[in-house]
Amino acid sequence: MATPEISRAASGNAALVVEGTGPLALVEDAGRFGARHLGVTQGGALDWIALGWANWLLGNAPDAAGIEIAMGGLTLKATGRMAVAIAGADLGATRDGETLPANGSFVLEPGQVLAFDQPRAGLRAYLALPGGIDAEPFMGSLSTVAREQLGGLDGRGSALRVGDRLTAASVAAETREMPCAMAMPQDEATLELVTGAQIAHFDGASLYAAFNQAWQVDSRADRMGVRLTGPALHCRLEGMISEGIPLGAVQVPPDGQPIILLNDRQTIGGYPRLGALSPIACARLGQCAPGTSIRLSPVSPHQARRAYLRQLALWR
């Protein structure tokens, strides 16, 4: 990867004031870890890769807290000069009406308005501020989990509201140019799945269908999980003791329609699982709109880990 050009843009005491909110705009970082034994879920950016690139564009740590903007609609006004960056979905971002690239860093001058419209490609864009978002973490993270009323600006799991002020954790930033394009899922996406858990208890026809037929992303999708619709899968297990649920777990309830559990998932569950999506696939799923065609592709743990480490290496 070529070395990017770097320039400095001070943020001082500048803030971004929320003037309008869309369906959901949340403070998210890499997530909350080490607490699932207490029933506290992970949270964090659904598309952790897009958040990482937004942070990289400002020289932040990849897991610094930013704003996850789902479906657009967010409007922010700068109180002072501030460098910011966006990455992920194309939500038709504008600065005082001027079209901005879906992935890039730029400077907001005092009084300028940053606005996000509706999705053009992907579902979630990520906004980074210098050093991340300045707020008080809870259990080591700022990640917002509305269901558990944890994290966010107020520490109670609230989405951004009109009048909220976003301040940067640092007074200066290194603005960089995006070294590569970020492709968003369109009509079809392939999701890598590490097989395991109870996969041996599914019948042969179900396993063939799981990996050789397309699934559709159902409209019943949120930060907790995404339902897939397609051929019914059948498992021979009649009952299970609840067990820990990893990120990307592909559960199959009695109706045979898989549910892929994401960042705000419950910590334990008792449905049989085909396995779990790779970290890269989880990020990709976070950008898939309802109706998107999904294909599951089995990979080994080694392959999934190698792809994950390759992504991390891009931000060094």
Radius of gyration of the chain (CA): 20
pLDDT tens-digit map of 92-117: 999 999 999 999 999 999 999 999 99
For residue 55, the model assigns a pLDDT of 98
- Going residue by residue through the chain, which has 316 residues, state the pLDDT in tens, using 9 for 90 and above: 544 554 555 556 789 999 999 999 999 999 999 998 999 999 999 999 999 999 999 999 999 999 999 999 999 999 999 999 999 999 999 999 999 999 999 999 999 999 999 999 999 999 999 999 999 999 999 999 999 999 999 999 999 999 999 999 998 888 899 998 889 998 999 999 999 989 999 999 999 999 999 999 999 999 999 999 999 999 999 888 999 999 999 999 999 999 999 999 999 999 999 999 999 999 999 999 999 999 999 999 999 999 999 999 999 9
In angstroms, the CA 261 to CA 276 distance is 9
Are 232 and 255 spatial neighbours (Cβ–Cβ below 8 Å)? yes
In angstroms, the CA 281 to CA 191 distance is 5
Where is 254: in which H helix or E strand? none
Angstrom CA distances, 316 to 39, 57, 64, 68, 283, stand at 33, 12, 14, 23, 19
Residue 76 amino acid letter: L
Taking the chain, what is the end-to-end CA distance rounded to the nearest angstrom? Answer: 11
Q: What tokens does 164 get?
A: 């909220």
168 — phi, psi (to 5°)?
-85, 150
Q: What tokens does 8 get?
A: 């400095």
Q: Across-strand partners of 128?
A: 85
Closest listed residue to residue 141, CA positions, set 132, 133, 151: 151
Residue 307 amino acid letter: A
56 — phi, psi (to 5°)?
-60, -35
Query: What global pTM score does this model have?
Result: 0.95
Where is 115: in which H helix or E strand? strand 113-115
Helix/strand/coil for 199: helix
In angstroms, the CA 253 to CA 124 distance is 28
Q: Identify the structural domains of the chain with CATH numbers, from first to last.
A: 7-175 (no CATH), 188-313 (2.40.100.10)
Closest listed residue to residue 128, CA positions, set 163, 178, 162: 178
